[in-house]
Copies of this chain bind each other. A is one copy, B any other.
Amino acid sequence: MQNWLNEKLLELNVTDKMNQPEGFNRLSFTKEEETAHEAFRKNAEELGMTCRTDSAGNIIARLETKEQQGEPARALGSHLDTVKNGGGYDGTAGVLCALGAVKKLQDENITLPFPLEVICFISEESSRFTMSTVGSKAMTGKLTKHQLDNIKDENGITLRQAMEAFGLNPENIQKAERDEKDLLSFTELHIEQGTRIEDAGCSYGAAAAIACPIRLHVHIHGKAGHTGTTPMDKRQDALVQAAELVTFVHEAALKLNENDDYPLVATASTIEARPNAMNVIPGYVKIGIDIRSVSDEQKNKMEEAIDTYLAGWTTAVEKEVIVRNDSVFLDQEMYGKLKELETTTGLKALPMESGAGHDVMNMQEKWPSGLIFIPCEDGLSHHPEEHASIKDLENGVELLYAYLTTADSR
């Protein structure tokens, strides 16, 4: 299995070695994502699965006996797109381990009492478009035609245009929504992107809930002017104001963690300054802020702290809410079963929450869903040095296999 995992990891990453100084760049709806999807399809078909691409670009690989045709399936899956200069495990590990579980079922000559699907979701990351989990949103009927035209990448290309360039027909996007009775459950495996599993001396994590983000854009309007001729005490420098905001967000988030059981993270993660020229005082700065906690109350406290802080400014400033998603609690029964895989696999489980959003958060709204984490080195993710060991990937296969072989057809 380890050799097979090594080989397929490279194939899904469309590379001959995982150590890439610039990481992987498979942004949403790009040629690079398409090539990885083709590698997925090839490998799923080699395992005897039947593949179809839905109208959003998700690939659904299905394994079933003749008698199981039309029956509700249990689904596994994750995504293959990455952030800019990302790693080869975020998303890919989940797709790989799901395929690994299919391989193990076949190696062991096991026929499940239900159809099995492995879903390769499209466009999970929000790096290109500000929206994340586009594929699972479409599959659960949460993607609107209005959004297709309104969400743009940094070059002004709309989601609709990107989908068309990808060979899809966005007019049919609603056809990607699946019926409730199509699936019995959905289980995602993902790298942890943190160090809590390792810190706790465990081998995997079972997630009870997902911390979904509030995302803000703060537009700061100072006054441009010549850097050489505008005295220091007569400036309205938008970057100086923005710097204060970045510092405030970091410190306020640290403080909010002192007195609460639920951790909160808040990050000023994007910045754009205009005109961004050496000899001009920045007249305008836009800051993107990402706030997450399983506790919606904590997230709201953080947003309120920012509101109060900005209200004290004399500089012209607008806050724009880009995303405000309530955090999602996963299916309690599935969560229990995933924790109990300890007994069948001998691997120690950490009950935990997810700090990041994943496709499973959309799937949970329609089907009982669960999330397994495997460790990744130093918790590093969204980074060229992102790494999960082959041993941990093999554990991931064992966990999904153990889950499937103890699940029933109801």
List the interface of chain A (C-beta within 8 A of B).
Answer: 83-85, 90, 125-127, 130, 132, 192-195, 211, 213, 215, 223-234, 237, 239-240, 242-247, 250, 253-254, 257, 263-283, 288, 290, 292, 322, 354-357, 379-383
- Chain B nearest CB, measured from A218 CB (Å): 13
Nearest opposing residue in chain B for A280, CB measure: B382
B232 touches A213 (CB 8 A): no
B228 touches A290 (CB 8 A): yes
A130 touches B229 (CB 8 A): no
Nearest opposing residue in chain B for A283, CB measure: B383
Partner of A265, one of B231, B266, B277: B231
A233 touches B250 (CB 8 A): no
Nearest opposing residue in chain B for A131, CB measure: B278
Contacts of A227 in B (CB 8 A): 265, 267, 269, 290, 292, 356
Q: A192-B229, A226-B356 are in contact. Are A270 and B278 (CB under 8 A)?
A: yes
| Bound: A381/B253 CA distance, A | 38
A278 touches B215 (CB 8 A): yes
- Chain B nearest CB, measured from A221 CB (Å): 12
| Bound: A322/B84 CA distance, A | 28
Partner of A278, one of B126, B237, B264, B273: B126
- Chain B nearest CB, measured from A123 CB (Å): 13
- Chain B nearest CB, measured from A201 CB (Å): 18
**Max count, chain B CB within 10 A of own CB: residue among A132, A226, A239, A269:** A226
| Bound: A275/B192 CA distance, A | 20
| Bound: A168/B228 CA distance, A | 31
**Max count, chain B CB within 10 A of own CB: residue among A245, A269, A281, A357:** A269
Partner of A275, one of B84, B130, B243, B280: B84
Contacts of A230 in B (CB 8 A): 193-194, 265, 355, 379
Partner of A271, one of B233, B239, B263: B239
**Max count, chain B CB within 10 A of own CB: residue among A228, A250, A354:** A228
| Bound: A381/B268 CA distance, A | 30
Q: A243-B244, A379-B230 are in contact. Are A277 and B269 (CB under 8 A)?
A: yes
- Chain B nearest CB, measured from A100 CB (Å): 23
| Bound: A227/B322 CA distance, A | 16
Partner of A356, one of B215, B237, B268, B279: B279
**Max count, chain B CB within 10 A of own CB: residue among A192, A254, A279, A292:** A279
- Chain B nearest CB, measured from A361 CB (Å): 11
**Max count, chain B CB within 10 A of own CB: residue among A230, A242, A277, A355:** A277
Partner of A269, one of B253, B282, B322: B282
